[in-house]
Copies of this chain bind each other. A is one copy, B any other.
Amino acid sequence: MNDLTISLDVHSTTPLYEQIYNYIKNEIQNGGLPFKERLPSSRKLSDYLQVSRTTVNMAYEQLVAEGYLEAVPHRGYFVCDLAGLVHLKPERRSQMKNQEADETNFEFDFSPHGVDLNSFPHNAWRKLSKNLLMEEDKYLFRLGDPQGEPRLRETIADYLHQARGVNAPPERIIVGAGNDFLLLLLCSMFGGGMRIAMESPTYRKAYDLFRNLSNEVRIVEMDESGMCVDQLEQTDAWLAYVMPSHQYPLGTVMPVKRRMQLLSWAASGAGTEKRYIIEDDYDSEFRYKGKPIPALQGYDRDDCVIYIGTFSKSIAPSIRVSYMVLPESLMDLYRQRARGISSTVSRVDQMLIAGFLNEGYYERHLNRMRAVYRGRHDALLAELKAFRGICQVSGENAGVHLLLTFTNGMTEEEAIRRAAERDVRVYGLSGYYVGDARKPFQDTVLLGYANLSEQEIHDALSRLRQAWL
C-alpha cells in the first residue's frame, strides 16, 4: 500500500475513478509498480481512499481492459508485462507552420477558386453534427456502401432532379471525396487508355490527372458556344469532358443547340464503340442572367452522360463530398472494376450532408449565397465600366469569376504585375491552355469575386484603376 499514495481531488472535473486510473497507469508506466506486482484489493483501497468500492473497481476494470492489469480469479489484480503496449509520449520538434493553402500575401485577392465562408451556416451545421453524435448507433462507424449512404443518395437524387433536371436514380449515384477522386475512379473503371476530348483552356487538374493515368487527351477548340463538335468528330476520342453550365475558366454557357450536337456525337457511337460525355457541373448553382439551364444529362436519351457535381463549391471547400451519376450502361463496369474501392467519405459526413439538404438548410444556404454572389457580381460589373475603353468583359453570366481581355496592348503578364504592385492579385488565363491548340483569348486575366465583399471589390477596383488606366 505504500506505493499508492494517491491524492484525490474531489472538486476536480475528472471523475474519481479516472483519477485513480490515471495514477496507477502512470505508476505502471514509470516502473513504480513493476511487472507482476499485486495491487491492493478494491476493499482495502476503497477504505484507504475513502471512496466507494465501485469507484475503485471501475478504475481497475479500465486498467484490465487496457492491458495494464490482469485480474486473476481468487487472487487479485497484478501488473502486466507492458512490452507489447503502445505508449505515446509527445515528441517535440520545430512546429510546422499551419499554412493555409489558399492564403496569400495580397491585400485583395481575386482568386477564381474562392468560396465565401462568412455566410456559412455554422449554427445549423453544429446542430446537425450534435444530433448525429447523439446517435449511439454503431452503424455510423461501420464501413458503409462503397457507392455512399442510400439516404444521402436519395437526397442527392431529389436535389439533382429538381434543381438541375438530372435523371439520377440513387442506384446510379456514386458519392466520393471530391471531383478529383471521382475522376480517378472513372480512370480506374475504364482502365487507362481512354481517348478523351477536352477543351483548351480547361480545368487543368482534370487534364493532368487524365494524362498522368496514361490516357490520351485530344484537344478540341472552343468557340462562343463551347466545344466545337465539328472538330470533335474529326478526332478518335470516345469521351468528351465538358462543363456546359459554366465552362472553366472561360465561363462559357453552352447553348441548347450545341448541347444537342454534342449528344448526337455521343449517340452515334454504339456497342464497344460507345461514346460518353463527362459533364462536370461544378458550379452550376450560381447563375445571374436568364433562366437556369438544366444539365446536359437531363436531355440524354442515349445513356451516354456521366454527370459530376460537388458540394465543395456550394457549401465549403473543406466539405469533401462530390457525386457522380453514371449512365445505366456503365453500371456493370462500375460493379466489376470500381465497387471494390471503399467509400472515401465517412458515414458521419454523409449523414450530415443528407440532413443539411433534407432539413432545408441547403436550399436556404444556396439562395442566400446566390443573393450574396449576385451582389458582388453586380458591384464588380459596375466598377468595371471604368475599363470599357481598354478591355472586354466575358464569362459574366454565371459562376463566381469573370474574365477581362485587354484590347489596349497590355499583356496578361503586365496586367498581373501592375495589379500586384498595388497589392491586388489577379490570375492569368494562359496557364489554363493545354496542348497546342489555338488560343482564343490572349492578354486575359480572371477575376474571382466570391471571397471579396462589395466594399472590398470597390476598394480593389480603385487600385486596379490606378494600376491599369
Contacts and interface: CB of A to CB of B under 8 A. Distances in A.
Contacts of A414: none
- Copy count, this protein chain: 2
A158 interface: yes
A191 B212 contact: yes
B138 A120 contact: yes
Interface in A145-163: 145-146, 149-151, 153-154, 157-159, 161-163
A98 to B, nearest CB: 5
Interface stretch (A224-232, A311-319, A422-430, A454-462): A311-319
Contact of A213 (B83, B192, B347): B192
Which of A120, A145, A348 has the most B CB atoms < 10 Å from its CB? Answer: A348
Interface string A110-153: 00010101111010011001100110101111111110011101
A101 B142 contact: yes
B191 A140 contact: no
Contact of A84 (B101, B291, B343): B291
Interface stretch (A86-94, A258-266, A401-409): A86-94
A160 to B, nearest CB: 11
Nearest to A161: B91
Given A141-B117, A212-B337, A93 B154 contact: yes
A420 interface: no
A454 B145 CA distance: 28
A87 B153 CA distance: 18
A386 interface: no
A287 B84 CA distance: 8
Interface stretch (A37-45, A270-278, A368-376): A368-376
Interface of A: 64-68, 83-91, 93, 95-102, 113, 115, 117-120, 122, 125-126, 129-130, 133-134, 136, 138-146, 149-151, 153-154, 157-159, 161-163, 170-171, 177-178, 180-181, 184-185, 187-189, 191-193, 204-205, 208-209, 212-214, 285, 287-288, 291-292, 312, 316-320, 337-338, 340-349, 357-358, 360, 362-364, 366-368, 370-372, 374
10 contacts: A67-B374, A84-B292, A84-B370, A87-B363, A125-B133, A126-B134, A140-B318, A192-B192, A209-B340, A320-B342
The 10 closest A-B pairs by CB, nearest first: A177-B344, A143-B317, A192-B214, A141-B316, A66-B367, A67-B371, A96-B150, A117-B138, A318-B347, A180-B341
